[in-house]
Amino acid sequence: MQIIIKTKNLELTDSLRLYIDKRIEGLKKYVRELPEIFLEIEKETLHHKKGQIFKTEATVHFPKKSLVAEAKGDDLGKTVTQVRDELKRQIREHKLKSIELPRREAKKSRKEIF
Residue 35: is its pLDDT beyond 80? no
Distance CA 94, CA 84 (A): 15
Work out the average pLDDT over 55-62: 92
Residue 14 CA: distances (Å) to CA of 48, 81, 84: 31, 18, 19
Work out the average pLDDT over 41-46: 82
Residue 28 CA: distances (Å) to CA of 22, 35, 98: 11, 10, 18
pLDDT score recorded for residue 70: 95
Residue 11: is its pLDDT beyond 80? yes
Per-residue pLDDT of 67-90, as tens digits, reads: 999 999 988 999 999 999 999 999
